[in-house]
Structure 1
Amino acid sequence: MPNFSTQKRLAACVLDVGESRVWINPDPDVAGEIADSITREDVKSQIEAGNIKAKPQKGNSRARYRARAAKRAYGHKKGPGRRKGAKGSRSPRKEIWMTKIRALRRRLKELREGGEIDRHTYRMLYRKAKGGEYRSTAHLNAYIKAKGLTRSD
């Protein structure tokens, strides 16, 4: 079988693919015809004749990734041996704070709009939340209940 390096290069350019994706018909009957194709026009005619084709693009299967992601979603494969990076780099302190403060402020708004606390109590609790007094909404609710801050109509 002759060396088709020039034809491969030209075909790759015409087909707009890499040289590794160019397929040349191995049939010895057409080998001479392909070897004589030395211009782009000749290569284009060989492509039209079906003697030169672009192989399909190869992709990587995501099945293994999906299976792993599904396990991680319910907490598997997340042990200490899998971790790289400090606690604060895996979940930054600021992001944890943002999540917590948003939840607390949302809860305070619900309580105020629902008429469970007055605006003065709301302001006081809002400032305490900003100061980092409450660990979570459950902690906030427990504080309100313990101090008897809800409106008793």
Structure 2
Amino acid sequence: GAIKAKPQKGISSYRSKKIKEQKAKGKRKGRGSVKGAKKARTPKKKAWMTTIRALRKDLKEMRDEEVIDATTYRKLYKMAKGGAFRSKSYMRNYARDHDLIKGEE
């Protein structure tokens, strides 16, 4: 008539680990799994920071390699800050189309 403690019942983490591994591979991320708006998943501010940092880095490189002069650099920098360009390629196209790049006149 001895009283024995029953073993505790746990919750297996096998399935959650498996799902986590799949997500690490990039699976389970289709439209059906998407919850939250586009702006919620990658906030506007984060998207802007990524873009503007890339543009500013590119501008600095162009200035240092003397592709553009200081005046042009400042003009494009201000335009980038104002949101005139959506990507590096657009900014470079603008500079080329408006004859702002040295040696391409």
Q: How would you bin the TM-score normalised by the shorter chain?
A: 0.7 to 0.9
Sequence identity percentage: 37
Q: Where does the alignment leave 5 or more consecutive residues of structure 2 unmatched? A: none
Residue matched to 2:4: 4
Q: Which residue of 1 aligns with 2:13?
A: 60
1:131-142 alignment, distance < 5 Å: 131-142=82-93
Query: Which protein, 1 or 2, shows the higher relative CO under an 8 Å CA cutoff with sep ≥ 6?
Result: 2
1:85, CA displacement in angstroms?
A: 1.4
2:34 is aligned with 1:20: no
User: How big is each residue's C-alpha offset from its partner over 1:105-132, in whole Å with a ceiling of 9 and x where there is no partner?
Assistant: 0000010011100011000000000000
Output the TM-score relative to the length of structure 2: 0.82
Structure 1 spans left out of the alignment, 5+ residues: 9-18, 22-56
Aligned partners of 2:19, 2:38: CA distance in 1, in Å? 27
Q: How large is the Cα RMSD of the aligned pairs?
A: 2.6
The alignment status of 1:103 with 2:91, answered yes or no, reads no
Q: How far apart, in 2, do the equivalents of 1:71 and 1:2 lie?
A: 53
Instruction: After the TM superposition, list the runs of 4 or more consecutive aligned residues in structure 1 that deviate by more than 6 angstroms.
Output: none
1:58: Cα distance to partner?
8.1
SS at structure 1 position matched to 2:59: helix
Q: Which has the larger radius of gyration?
A: 1
Q: Does 1:125 align with 2:80?
A: no
